[in-house]
Chain A
């Protein structure tokens, strides 16, 4: 195993533990903080894979913006503390389904890719190359995404506005 792989395994283990704690936490604030750890470890995984721009976008958008949004959502809805208040009665079934999904995915992955066949090379996908692809080949999808963001922004404002003078 190379040094990169050791770094990847450490990051993946941190992300896995934090993800499991996120879905089993008894306190919503702890869940939000575990979400930060998971997203940060995924950003580290991107860095190890050599996708630096995606990694920093992940830190900016997810850790910076989306988690803050979640924290505001938690504060405005005063969520209770405790397992019974946060989980429903289908924990056993949910665990069964999740383990089934995991087993199926692991079986399919090891069936489709031999352990040593394709390797992720340190392919230099620099920000410049990515930006060129984004604004030449994918400029139409890019505009569609910006329109979607605008629509979502207006929709969120319209939804959460108090209608006291209607």
Chain B
């Protein structure tokens, strides 16, 4: 038996690390990795709640989230490679064509 707050604290730590990565990194691939970290934190929460309340909906939702994350990485890396091909850089602070 595991105390529920323990799992939630672990998830909070993972999420905060992901927030730091998204804000502090300038390499687009590393930003995508940090986003994966945040999605994993959400999944830990979903599975922990699903087990605590004996409700399968949380685990089904976690499966869907994994699939959506896979789609997101595929599209994200395709966009990153396209940016690299056109601009010779994938630093997110140099790709500011749409910035006002």
Name A's B-contacting residues (CB within 8 A): 2, 4-5, 8-9, 12, 15-16, 19-20, 22-23, 28, 31-32, 35, 38-39, 42, 45-46, 48-51, 53-54, 57-58, 61-62, 65-66, 69-70, 72-74, 76-77, 79, 85-88, 90-91, 93-95, 97-99, 101-102, 105-106, 109-110, 113, 115-123, 125, 129-130, 133-134, 138, 141-142, 145, 148-149, 151-153, 155-157, 159-160
Contacts and interface: CB of A to CB of B under 8 A. Distances in A.
Given A28-B27, A159-B78, A120 B16 contact: no
B46 to A, nearest CB: 9
Interface residues of B, number: 70
A76 B81 contact: yes
Given A77-B81, A138-B60, A156-B75, A119 B54 contact: no
A6 to B, nearest CB: 10
Contacts of A86: 25-27, 30
Nearest to B82: A159
B17 A45 contact: no
Given A19-B13, A77-B81, A152-B74, A8 B6 contact: yes
